[in-house]
Amino acid sequence: MSEISLQNVSKIYGDGFAAVSDVSLDIADGEFVILVGPSGCGKSTLLRMIVGLEDISEGELVIGGERMNNKAPKDRNLAMVFQNYALYPHLSVRENIAFPLTLAKMDDATIKQKVEDAATTLELTEHLDRKPGQLSGGQRQRVAMGRAIVREPNAFLFDEPLSNLDAKLRGQMRTEIARLQKRFGTTTVYVTHDQTEAMTLGDRVVVLRKGIAQQIASPKELYNRPANLFVAGFIGSPSMNMLPAQLEGDQLKLPFATITVPQATVEAAGNTRNLIAGIRAEYFEDANFVGDKATHGQTFDVTVDVTEWLGSELFAYIPYEVDSGDASLRGLNEELEQLPSSSSIVAELNAASPISAGDTARVWVDARRIMLFEAETGLNLTREVPLPDDAGAPAPVAAEQPGTAATPHSGQPDSGSPLG
């Protein structure tokens, strides 16, 4: 059994800086968990605490039922794959893969068999006698993975293993890692800043911000029911459109239009009037292509600034006027570099739409999918609002307080701390 349990874990450096603050997470045997967040959020520090390369300042680390706080890395039986491969350039592929077994003084026949099995799995058999310098980046990363596999560890730990690869190779390696994890069924903790990796690889994802776990949930839950503004802005590409909003009755006043929202959305907002509306790009459409869904939303006229046609989709950028003093959105824009700094909506339209830059166009938005956030705290007020049948999201869940321990494979969020 190789469950990993982090119980109120913190990492506080000598100058008082808290790199990780009170994170609780239970990882089930065989589960694939992703740690994701912007640079400096504490994800790599948390991974290094699990493997033993960083001391734990507060809290408990339990692996397979045994407390590991004071155990040396070599005694935790964890295999780590690094961003820079960490291969010995003077050793062959065979010798690099075999290195941990040689160090453990395993007999030659067993080492040979394990290395050959790993090489077959990773399609490295023909490269066993080559040196790392003669391999491509993807091949070198597979050698590093082979070295981890032969150890038969309790868990695999990946620290941004694909960040040095080009886009096409990253896609191939994502598939390879997912296939291997399912084949071996080994508990895996994977650090990345790439949300595509987070959304496609993990059973659950931990979104970190300044050392604090903002939400722990399945990828689908994070996308459809983000706990707060930070999670909503970080998860999704292009980023969620975030707009200052006012709600009067069922009329939601946005910078570009006034939208009639469902009664469930009105009830969720309660008496909160200082709101931020979140609308994902795909919830817009060219009004000429809406079809039967037209009654679930509203159309409005806009002037399109820029368009990007990508073959299967068309992105339209729609400028709008906004109060420059909106500190909530300005601060979030600065922290999440992928959020647009200018005041514009990104709308994903049907690729067949004739809309082009400079046009005055009629655009539709799905009112059922508009999320409302409290501006001061960032909390998602509409997290429990039932989603449309075509959303494919889990059933509504009650909002939880920060610091709640994770439930393995539940798909439910474990914490939803405010924007702060």
Digitized pLDDT (tens) for each residue of the chain, 420 residues in all:
589 999 999 999 999 999 999 999 999 999 999 999 998 999 999 999 999 999 999 999 999 999 999 999 989 999 998 888 789 999 999 999 999 999 989 999 999 999 999 999 888 999 999 999 999 888 998 899 899 999 889 999 999 988 878 878 888 888 888 988 988 899 999 999 888 899 999 999 999 999 999 999 999 999 999 999 999 999 998 889 999 999 999 999 999 899 999 999 999 999 887 899 999 999 999 999 998 888 999 999 999 999 999 999 999 999 987 664 455 566 666 666 544 445 789 999 999 999 999 999 999 999 999 999 999 899 999 999 998 876 544 433 333 333 333 333 333 334 333 333
Contacts (Cβ under 8 Å, ≥6 apart) of 49:
9, 11, 20, 55, 56, 61
Predicted TM-score of the model (pTM): 0.84
| Preceding peptide of 418 cis, ω within 30° | no
Packing angle between helix 93-103 and helix 137-149, nearest 10 degrees?
Answer: 20
Residue with tokens 């009639």: 260
According to DSSP, the β-strands at 78-81 and 66-67 are unpaired
Sequence ranges of the chain with CATH classification 2.40.50.140: 229-386
User: How many angstroms separate the first and last alpha carbons of the chain?
Assistant: 38
- Using CB atoms within 10 A of its CB, is residue 167 exposed (0-12), middle (13-18) or buried (19+)? exposed
Sequence ranges of the chain with CATH classification 3.40.50.300: 4-221
Rounded CA-CA distance 131/121 in Å is: 19
Which two structure tokens, joined as six digits, stand for 410? 């539940």
CA atoms within 13 A on the CB side of 140: 20
**Are the CB atoms for 414 and 301 separated by under 8 Å?**
no
Task: Write down the architecture of domain 4-221 according to CATH.
Answer: 3-Layer(aba) Sandwich (3.40)
Contacts (Cβ under 8 Å, ≥6 apart) of 396:
225, 383, 384, 385, 386, 387
Tell me what pLDDT residue 176 has.
85
Rounded CA-CA distance 281/97 in Å is: 45
Return phi, psi of residue 191, to 5°: -95, 135
Rounded CA-CA distance 114/318 in Å is: 57
Rounded CA-CA distance 160/185 in Å is: 20
Q: Is the Cα torsion angle 335, 340, 343, 345 positive or negative in sign?
A: negative
Radius of gyration of the chain (CA): 24
Q: What is the dotted CATH code of the domain comprising 229-386?
A: 2.40.50.140
Q: What is the b/e burial string over 136-162, where b = at least 16 CB atoms within 10 angstroms of the residue's CB?
A: eebbbbbbbbbbbbbbebbbbbbbbbb
In the 8-state DSSP scheme, what is residue 163? T
Rounded CA-CA distance 313/308 in Å is: 8
- Using CB atoms within 10 A of its CB, is residue 31 exposed (0-12), middle (13-18) or buried (19+)? buried
Return phi, psi of residue 285, to 5°: -160, 150
Rounded CA-CA distance 238/282 in Å is: 9
At 216 the three-state DSSP class reads: strand
Contacts (Cβ under 8 Å, ≥6 apart) of 158:
80, 81, 177, 188, 189, 190, 191, 192
Tell me what pLDDT residue 342 has.
54
Q: How far is CA 405 from the centre of its chain?
A: 19
Q: Go through the chain and tell me how many residues it has.
A: 420
* Measured CA distances, 270 to 27, 248, 265, 359, 373 (Å): 36, 11, 9, 38, 12
Return phi, psi of residue 71, to 5°: -80, 140
- For residue 87, give the nearest of 127, 145, 45, 29 by alpha carbon: 145
